[in-house]
Structure 1
Amino acid sequence: MTLSVSILVFGLVWSTSVAGFHESTTKRDGETTVFGDCSIPKFSDRLPFYTLAEPVAFPTDILRDFLTSTYTSNDCNETHQHGSSFFYDGDRLAALYDNSTGQTSLWPRLESLNPVENISIPFDHFSEYLNDSRIFPPDDTRITAAAGSTLFGSKNSSGSISPPQAYLANLAINRTFNVRDREYAICGPGTKGFFGYGSDGNILSLTHRWQPAKQSEATLESISSDQVTKNILDQLSASNISHATVNSVDFCFYDSGEKYIQPVYRFQVTGKGPHGAAPFPFVGYISAVSKPLEPLPSLTPSGAPSTTLEPDVSGTSVPLQTPSTPASNFTHVPSLRRRHQQSTTVGVYPISNSGSISTLCDADVEVFLQGLNDGKFTIAQNYWGEDFEYESEKNDFVNSVDLVYQCGHGNIHQFYADLDESPVTMADIGSGGGYGPGAGGPLSYWLIKACDVIPTITQYTDKFGASAAHEAWDVWWDVFDGIHVIAGFSTEAWTNDGIEGPLAQAIELNAGVVMSWLNTVMASSLYQSLAPYPDPNWGTQKYGRPAAIFPCGHGDDTVLMRDNLGKPDCLTMFWY
């Protein structure tokens, strides 16, 4: 069945319809792409677009008020450089206004947050901010406030597990445009609005990025539904994604954070894993018009090869060739002089032998490395992933650097370094002596971009009951031998999600690693805009839920804190 509706826009007839695809298949170069039982919105005539004004700087007086809610007035030192503003709590970055993007971020002291069973968001009180034209200037878009993600935490002290409690409740700003009572979502990295409320009713965390948008008097020629299908297939083919299933195609307006908000189709795809591995998801974009105004994120990043990547398998890892700078919506702010002189060594390990996932992970880790442009970071290792890097030769690889960032496939308490090999399990790492200074190497911070590696207590208890809570903890005790933080995901995650640039910036400027990870991932425009999915392990879940685990009392540690913590008798887990 085809649904049609005509909408009047500034005297132009904007006709929309929905083209249904019911388990149809398309052959391309010997491979098959399946369009699942989904619909592709199509538009006749022409489409509107928006022009973006300069970024809005979050009001400094209000930011200072937020800071005093979690830091005393004498704690924060305010510094300005090249139009950007930095607020330091001693050596730890507490807040940042990035003049190059217009984004403002505030990270609270995690260890000072007061947990409660539930945090109620005072929507009536928030209206003073929602109606403040300095924060949200009037324009041609519509904004609404809604309940967002809640930050939960729990502690395990020698087997005594505290019930999960709420530490922050985020209020999220949804931005749309309205045409004759029909709402269209704005997607992309250029719009962010998250206000984290503590148990005391005060705003303790913030992510704000905003540019006023004005609808252009001009319009753009839309493409046909056949062209939509062709463009999706072309991108999948160029990305080496084989046997793909297109699960959904929706229409939104992409905010690049640069000059325009333009109409796009966003598609969710499940690709067949190479060598019989489990399927993996992708999100891609194609322009809804014949001549796009700005480049869109691609499943084949600029400068990255579209063929399967093969690592050396001779028993020694081979450094990656540095590709051309991948397209990124992140622009780095000028770096402050570091307050300490010790160098931080970094290792990155994208998965090998995983076709397009290897390509995209390579691009993601390169963006992370580019974000660490301070001279006090040494890129010590940039290797394709292999099992021995984490197991038999760990002290020559993963456990030989201070900070690790890896990207690839994952599952509950395990991940793939090389898809041609068996998964690396946390149990095996623990039985091999774990990581950290106590295990013979300096590793202090381990960031894992892979699905499901850190399942939470609530996932276990919701499915198996309260008695299963310990299963979220058991495997981690032997992994920690001096490590300060291990961070990852509790649900399915995506490559090309835009987290690497802001995350690296926060870590480089010495924000707490845990809150840098949790809030950067939580604020990703990709994860915020996707509908929940049926997880085979846990039932209905939200994509991209970040989690972190660390020895009790070390939730605010920065990358410069690398003392040997030894084996813990108390662990803390936080998750959104």
Structure 2
Amino acid sequence: MVWSGRCRVTRFKPPVNEASPGLYWLDATAIWARNACVTAGYAHPDLCVDAVQKKYKGKYTLTCGLPSSSGDLSPVPCHKRAISTMMRASNHLFHLLTLTSLVVAQRMDPNATISSLHNDQGDGVDHYESQGYMPLTVPFVDGHSNSGAPENTSMRRHSNSKVFFYDENHEVVAFIDQAAAQARIFPDYGALKPLTAPADIKGVFVDLEHQGSAFPPDDTRIELVEGSSLLGSEGVLPPTEGYGTVARRWNDAGNTTYLTLGTVRRFVESNSAKIPVCGPGSQASFGVGHENKLVSLSYQWRAAKKACKKRKPLPANKVLKQIDEALEKYRSPCRSVRIKTIDLCMYDSGARYIQPVYRVIAEPFDPSKNSTTSVKQILEYIPFGGDAIEPILPPGQAFSGVDGDEQALQPNTVDISKRSLLNYFDARNSKLRITVGRYVVRNDSDGFVEDARNFWSNLAPSTIYEFVRKGFFWAYPRLYNKDANFFVNDVNVALTEAHGKFHGFTTYDATAAIDFVNIPSDLAPGGFGPISNGGKGQLGYWFIDACEVMPTLTDFEAIKDPNPQGRTFDPWWPVFRGGIHAVLSWRTSALFADNTAASAAQEIALGRPVVQAWLDAAQADPAYRGRPTYVGGGTGLADWPFGRAAAIFRCGRIGDKVSNLENLGAPTCLSARWWNNN
């Protein structure tokens, strides 16, 4: 049966996994069907299959094809030989492959995991109703001014409930939002002195707790834990630039600790078990710096009272169906999804209720390929006991910003200048213009496009800068190399959305085999920034929102690399040769559910320094609360935490704002800052 130039077969029914009926059969089917296509002679490296349920007599259709930039399957020549090969496949072999691939794909038994969670909570789980909150006042912020926040702050009301605080240089240092029961004190990373002794987070917590009853007694519990520490190092220009120097340069500084976070974890006790609180509400963390001074605060809290009615668990198969439906949007013809972990937590939206949910971490993958990249993973919250009591904010949507964004386009050097000119005419002239380009991996999850949109939508409302869109493109290696001066190096701020691995990122799905960009060998000679392109380069700040692209001393020391300092800095010297001010990325894997890029953009739009905004947004992101872990892609080590950001920048320029685009010449010293594994 041949039509539309594709090879389709409709004479099979996939086996049913009794533990999780209907779940993940596509993974096994895709492996079997791809093998059949390859056997028939279609051994293209991008070959994948589309397994789609049809309404015709409950059977299914297989499509052999090649992925296009839109994520659909492009036609490939099909012949009767391909059909007959697939039709002759042994049923016994098919079932054997299916069962084997399900075990490999799943990596866990979700049915057993859910059943175990239900056994622990046999009579159900209570939900909680948010009560009043601590009335946040100006002294709550000003009271800490002698501990890190600048004195002589001035207030500026942005809404009926939200007040921002500015220092004498008109830089935002804090805000209070009465409606959300939220307060922030932004750290000044440039003013931080190295710690000379371990931080006393307990002592600082006691002082904080006594100021205004920040954690009023209620039906929940809290515990103080030591969070991540901000580490730093500096590297000087090596005698011979390049990647992979063998001997350590002993004049380079090693690890230095600049602050340590104290984190207040909230939980409830249910049937002798501790269930942590998750979600965007109920957050409290503070940074302790030199001489145990409080240098930062991220706080959102409401008292909570136990409701009268328990939430009863649904049968495991119904829960699995809910999970399957939630993960469906991440699947495509060439991409399946496997569950990594499932646990229970109490979701706090910051609104009215704290409700029980299943917290699911899953991983997209191509069952026909072995990925060598660190794939961006998925976080979903599934209501416990049926429908949600109140809407669960979709992960990654906390910072939706403004509407009206453009569509991602195929890059074309012919019309790029015309598009930019039109955008300039549309822009207002009253504020400093900052051009922004976004470059998104092809043939992958819509989550990358969503993150790019949220990044822009939080820059756009700025009252300080006029951010101008200068390209929203599907990524190709040439945008970073031979055509870089038309794209990445032709904007002031660039955002790359992709999968990654140590010193590299993808431009086509999650594979390192096709159109992968290695740093620095696949980047434009001469680097990026105002020195490059004969003095016409524009790039000042490059955000690479991809997993494990920026490993640091913490990573290389963990795997006993003989030259951790050189491995941290050497790949980046050729990039900075062009005069770029900073590169921002991740040293560990990230989650689609985070809001780090969007919330960093929001802080930048308020006038916060770029490096500081990125590091601050990452450590405060609710997706990484509770320290979820994975097996490190570059280290191969278990218990590696998600969401540890890193930044490399010119020495002495950690305070640069997005408006700092001046030509500073080629650097002779680079600084790095990153969050460690705690």
TM-score (norm 1): 0.84
In 1, distance between residues paired with 2:135 and 2:472? 36
Map of 2:34 onto structure 1: none
Cα 1:58–1:528 shift into 2, 3 Å: same
In 2, distance between residues paired with 1:345 and 1:315? 17
Give 1 or 2 for the bigger CA radius of gyration: 2
1:175 and 2:247 correspond: no
1:124 and 2:221 correspond: no
Map of 2:498 onto structure 1: 408
Cα 1:425–1:100 shift into 2, 3 Å: farther
The match for 2:174 among 76, 79, 95 is: 95
Q: CA deviation at 1:314?
A: 7.5
Cα 1:316–1:495 shift into 2, 3 Å: farther
Residue aligned with 1:478, SS? helix
Alignment of 1:3-22 (within 5 A): none
Decide whether the 8 Å contact of 1:436 with 1:443 is kept in 2.
Answer: yes
User: CA deviation digits over 1:258-286, x for unaligned, max 9?
Assistant: 22211111112222148734473322221
In 2, distance between residues paired with 1:297 and 1:53? 20
Map of 1:115 onto structure 2: 194
Cα 1:117–1:454 shift into 2, 3 Å: farther
User: CA deviation digits over 1:141-183, x for unaligned, max 9?
Assistant: 1111111000000111334310111000100010001235421
Cα 1:248–1:556 shift into 2, 3 Å: same
The match for 1:341 among 431, 445, 453 is: 431
Alignment of 1:316-327 (within 5 A): none
In 2, distance between residues paired with 1:573 and 1:487? 10
In 2, distance between residues paired with 1:441 and 1:116? 38
Gaps of 5+ in 2: 1-17, 31-101, 239-250, 401-406, 418-427
Cα 1:528–1:418 shift into 2, 3 Å: same
Percent of aligned pairs with the same residue?
A: 27
Map of 2:256 onto structure 1: 165
Map of 2:157 onto structure 1: 80
Map of 1:496 onto structure 2: 593
Map of 1:434 onto structure 2: 527
In 1, distance between residues paired with 2:528 and 2:292? 39
Map of 1:532 onto structure 2: 629
In 2, distance between residues paired with 1:448 and 1:103? 29
- Which amino acid is the alignment partner of residue 34 of structure 1? Q
Map of 1:209 onto structure 2: 300
Decide whether the 8 Å contact of 2:156 with 2:163 is kept in 1.
Answer: yes
Cα 1:507–1:493 shift into 2, 3 Å: same
Alignment of 1:168-317 (within 5 A): 168-179=259-270, 181-240=272-331, 242-273=335-366, 276=369, 277-278=371-372, 280=375, 281-298=377-394, 312=410
Q: Mean Cα displacement is larger for which, 484-493 or 118-127? A: 118-127
In 1, distance between residues paired with 2:566 and 2:363? 33
Decide whether the 8 Å contact of 1:530 with 1:543 is kept in 2.
Answer: yes
- Which amino acid is the alignment partner of residue 187 of structure 2? P
Residue aligned with 1:48, SS? strand
Return the structure number with greater helix share.
2
Residue aligned with 1:561, SS? coil
- Which amino acid is the alignment partner of residue 214 of structure 1? K
Map of 2:552 onto structure 1: 456
Cα 1:26–1:398 shift into 2, 3 Å: closer
Decide whether the 8 Å contact of 2:201 with 2:261 is kept in 1.
Answer: no
Decide whether the 8 Å contact of 2:187 with 2:296 is kept in 1.
Answer: yes
In 1, distance between residues paired with 2:396 and 2:176? 31
Decide whether the 8 Å contact of 2:228 with 2:261 is kept in 1.
Answer: yes
In 1, distance between residues paired with 2:457 and 2:294? 32
The match for 1:475 among 535, 547, 571 is: 571
- Which amino acid is the alignment partner of residue 244 of structure 1? V
Q: Mean Cα displacement is larger for which, 293-302 or 187-196? A: 293-302
- Which amino acid is the alignment partner of residue 551 of structure 1? R
Q: In angstroms, what is the RMSD of aligned CA positions?
A: 3.2
User: CA deviation digits over 1:52-72, x for unaligned, max 9?
Assistant: 246645443242233333355
Cα 1:103–1:501 shift into 2, 3 Å: farther
In 2, distance between residues paired with 1:413 and 1:232? 34
User: CA deviation digits over 1:84-139, x for unaligned, max 9?
Assistant: 22222314322222455443222222222111355322413422323555422222
In 2, distance between residues paired with 1:53 and 1:164? 44
Decide whether the 8 Å contact of 1:57 with 1:97 is kept in 2.
Answer: no
Q: CA deviation at 1:469?
A: 1.6
Q: CA deviation at 1:531?
A: 3.5
- Which amino acid is the alignment partner of residue 587 of structure 2? S
Q: CA deviation at 1:217?
A: 2.0
Residue aligned with 1:216, SS? strand
Q: CA deviation at 1:571?
A: 0.6
1:360 and 2:360 correspond: no
Map of 1:34 onto structure 2: 106
Map of 2:665 onto structure 1: 566
Decide whether the 8 Å contact of 1:310 with 1:353 is kept in 2.
Answer: no
In 2, distance between residues paired with 1:300 and 1:195? 23
In 2, distance between residues paired with 1:432 and 1:137? 58
In 1, distance between residues paired with 2:397 and 2:207? 42
The match for 1:555 among 654, 658, 663 is: 654
- Which amino acid is the alignment partner of residue 383 of structure 1? F
Decide whether the 8 Å contact of 2:492 with 2:540 is kept in 1.
Answer: yes
Decide whether the 8 Å contact of 2:125 with 2:270 is kept in 1.
Answer: no
Cα 1:301–1:548 shift into 2, 3 Å: closer
Residue aligned with 2:292, SS? coil
User: CA deviation digits over 1:170-226, x for unaligned, max 9?
Assistant: 000100012354211111111211110002111001111112222222344432211
Alignment of 1:497-512 (within 5 A): 497-512=594-609
Map of 2:52 onto structure 1: none
Q: Mean Cα displacement is larger for which, 239-248 or 171-180? A: 239-248
Map of 1:141 onto structure 2: 220
In 1, distance between residues paired with 2:178 and 2:603? 14
User: CA deviation digits over 1:229-250, x for unaligned, max 9?
Assistant: 1111222234316443222210
Map of 1:519 onto structure 2: 616
Return the structure number with greater strand share.
1
Cα 1:316–1:261 shift into 2, 3 Å: farther
- Which amino acid is the alignment partner of residue 224 of structure 1? P
Decide whether the 8 Å contact of 1:452 with 1:491 is kept in 2.
Answer: yes
Map of 1:370 onto structure 2: 457
User: CA deviation digits over 1:13-54, x for unaligned, max 9?
Assistant: xxxxxxx979x9742595666361461222555432122246
Residue aligned with 1:568, SS? coil
In 1, distance between residues paired with 2:508 and 2:414? 13
In 1, distance between residues paired with 2:591 and 2:396? 14
TM-score (norm 2): 0.72
Cα 1:66–1:564 shift into 2, 3 Å: farther
- Which amino acid is the alignment partner of residue 193 of structure 2? N
User: CA deviation digits over 1:475-517, x for unaligned, max 9?
Assistant: 1111012222211100111112122442222111011211211
In 2, distance between residues paired with 1:46 and 1:180? 9
Decide whether the 8 Å contact of 2:129 with 2:307 is kept in 1.
Answer: yes
1:395 and 2:485 correspond: yes
Q: CA deviation at 1:453?
A: 0.7
Q: CA deviation at 1:474?
A: 0.7
Map of 1:49 onto structure 2: 127
